[in-house]
Structure 1
Amino acid sequence: MRSSNPVFSRRQFSRGTGYAGFNAAPQAGGPAANPYAGANPYAQGGNPYAPQDANPYAQGQQGLTQAPPQHTPQTRPMTMDDVLIRTGLTLGTVIVGATVAWVMNLSMGLAIGAALIAMVLGLVQSFKRKPSPALILAYAAFEGLFLGALSNAVNQWVKPGAPMQAVLGTMAVFVVMLIAYKTRIVRVNARFTRFVIIAAMGFVALQMVNLLFMVFGGGDGLGFRSGGLGIVFGIAGVLLGALFLALDFKQVEDGIAYGAPREESWLAAFGLTMTLVWIYLEMLRLVQLLSGND
């Protein structure tokens, strides 16, 4: 089973055992436990950038007239600093875009257009073989425009102060989940991953059914986004986002442990940004519902 996060699901962040992320901790003498060994293109045996033996006389395999092999520097493994810096850049771009939309009082029509562009850019990056920093930052900018316009509209017409409450709520969820993960209160394993995937599929399916009823039946559809039932689904959405954070933390932790190349830190930043955007949107809707505004 692949990760629900499209950023990680198509990378070498999964093993044949079906566990999303890098799976089990590395075992001594067991290269199969490391997703960056064996078939992994970055492993020593299959990495085209791995340094080769520069001695033309080594083991008698090369003749005197044979040119010495060319060397290409090996990609430095990513570190936590790499992940933090790139996540900061990506989230910073979201914040800048949101600020611009808020100050310019961007219309919701343009905001929806920005959201569609961000969705397309996100899908393109998800299916690319390598991370593209320009594409990721462009996604963050357009996502920021949408969030800024939506937050401004909610602040003006629905509940003043709701966006700030949603931001604080998102930060609280992140900190609590990080502490729970680091203290191993939350343990990410195969069973945990399956539960999150199934829950996410069910949540999205119900939202799609509700949207269809809204389009063809009018009103609020099945009521999943308003009233008491809407509050329940809002809480479920926030909790689901928190579980996604745990998967992201695991993937980052294992990527560093297994020596993932530095460029993968952009994918980590991309995945974390998408999860935080999810939590913020669900939190904003939840604050709106708890204030008595549908």
Structure 2
Amino acid sequence: MALGGNPIFNGKSFRGATQAPRVPSYPQSQPGYGQPQYGQQQYGQPQYGEPAWSTQQMSSDQLQQMYKMYNRPSAGPAETGRMTFDDVIVKTAACLAVLLIGAAISLFVAPGTSSLLMVVGALGGFVLAMVNTFKKQPSPALILGYAGLEGLFLGGLTRFLDALYPGVGLQAVIGTLAVFGVTLALFKSGKVRATPKAMRFFMIAMLGYLVFAVINMVMVWTGVVNSPFGLGTSVHIFGIPLGVFIGLLAIGLAAFSLVMDFTSIEQGVLQGAPERYSWTAAFGLTVTLVWLYVEIIRLLAILRGDD
């Protein structure tokens, strides 16, 4: 799981999770007082060649119970406290349910309150994202809290953009589900993998995207660019807003981040990661889906605004 490449899973190693505890060994010494010497029969112990117990001395119920015990199937990952794909699915569904509740709150309150909740959700979600990312042991409460705050942010953002461009919120939801489904299908088919070469390209592209985002944010805050999307709509290349190219790049990066999430989850299950780390997997998927949704709705808003 830690080998998937997603920074959310970094620092969480599971290689020792499947190793059994070491059996202590004691140095051989001379028998102490009261212990039998070699070859000396201890009182009440059976003679050499005499069985300690015999099936003839056991009742039919005891034999049947012994038969059931020896023919019982071996314990699976769930019984041994290991992470399973079902665990990840259930916990991811829980995070998304909390996120939808937060989004519903921002969508149905008063407009002024919605804007305030959007800011609170953005700042609080960022803080909890950092805490959960660098926290060695996953905390379900903090992860669900992150999902709720991001729900407040996404609900407020969707309400604001949907008022300007009606229907853009539903289109963004459909687009997010479509990208997630296609990425998962390609990953399961083995056609898309987080190879070392792809990882290097991802890191270079991600660094360039972050540099552009920071520069664009500073220019909007300082008033150098008056457009709400900054350079994304004020600069055109062959008549197409720069934000369209940047948006497509960001969606591609988010989709590849999903591939890294799937790789990390697969490795965690195969390596026998403890069950509690299914919360880490759910958190990673939630972060990526939030990022993907934001990029899609921003791209749709730029396209609608350029009409």
Instruction: Give the TM-score normalised by structure 2.
Output: 0.74
1:120 to 107, 127, 136: 127
Distance 2:5 2:208 in 1: 12
Q: Which runs of 5+ in 2 are unaligned?
A: 33-78
The question of 1:145 aligning with 2:158 is answered no
Who is 2:172 aligned against?
166
1:247 to 235, 260, 264: 260
Counterparts in 2 of 1:225 and 1:77: CA distance versus 1, 3 Å: farther
Q: Please, which moves more after superposition, 248-257 or 227-236?
A: 227-236
1:78–1:264 contact (8 Å) kept in structure 2: yes
The question of 1:274 aligning with 2:287 is answered yes
Distance 1:126 1:57 in 2: 40
Distance 2:274 2:166 in 1: 44
The 5 Å alignment of 1:32-71 reads 36-37=14-15, 40=16, 42-44=17-19, 50=20, 53=23
2:231 to 223, 238, 241: 223
1:76 to 76, 81, 98: 81
Who is 1:292 aligned against?
305
Who is 1:7 aligned against?
8
2:128–2:146 contact (8 Å) kept in structure 1: yes
1:241–1:275 contact (8 Å) kept in structure 2: yes
1:264 to 259, 269, 277: 277
- RMSD value over aligned CA atoms? 2.7
Distance 1:75 1:131 in 2: 19
Describe the SS at the equivalent of 2:275. Answer: coil
Q: Deviations over 1:261-292 (max 9, x none)?
A: 11111010000000000010011011111212
Identity over aligned residues, as a percent?
Answer: 38
Distance 1:101 1:222 in 2: 25
Describe the SS at the equivalent of 2:232. Answer: coil
Instruction: Give the TM-score normalised by structure 1.
Output: 0.77
2:82–2:269 contact (8 Å) kept in structure 1: yes
1:10–1:126 contact (8 Å) kept in structure 2: no
1:4–1:197 contact (8 Å) kept in structure 2: no
1:135 to 136, 142, 167: 142
Who is 1:196 aligned against?
202
2:87–2:275 contact (8 Å) kept in structure 1: yes
Look up the equivalent residue of 1:9 and give its one-letter code: N
2:206–2:253 contact (8 Å) kept in structure 1: yes
Q: Please, which moves more after superposition, 111-120 or 101-110?
A: 101-110
Look up the equivalent residue of 2:93 and give its one-letter code: G
Counterparts in 2 of 1:204 and 1:4: CA distance versus 1, 3 Å: farther
2:138–2:280 contact (8 Å) kept in structure 1: yes
Distance 2:304 2:149 in 1: 28
Distance 1:258 1:277 in 2: 28
Describe the SS at the equivalent of 1:76. Answer: coil
Who is 1:208 aligned against?
214
Who is 2:90 aligned against?
85
- Cα offset, 1:235, TM superposition: 1.1
Count of residue correspondences = 250
Look up the equivalent residue of 1:278 and give its one-letter code: W
Q: Deviations over 1:52-72 (max 9, x none)?
A: 65xx998859x99xxxxxxxx
Describe the SS at the equivalent of 1:109. Answer: helix
Counterparts in 2 of 1:193 and 1:83: CA distance versus 1, 3 Å: same
1:234–1:285 contact (8 Å) kept in structure 2: yes
Q: Deviations over 1:123-153 (max 9, x none)?
A: 1111111000000000100110111111111
Distance 1:5 1:200 in 2: 12
- Cα offset, 1:224, TM superposition: 2.6
Q: Which runs of 5+ in 1 are unaligned?
A: 13-35, 45-49, 65-73
Distance 1:94 1:238 in 2: 20
Structure with max Cα Rg: 2
- Cα offset, 1:187, TM superposition: 2.0
Look up the equivalent residue of 1:113 and give its one-letter code: V
Describe the SS at the equivalent of 2:231. Answer: coil
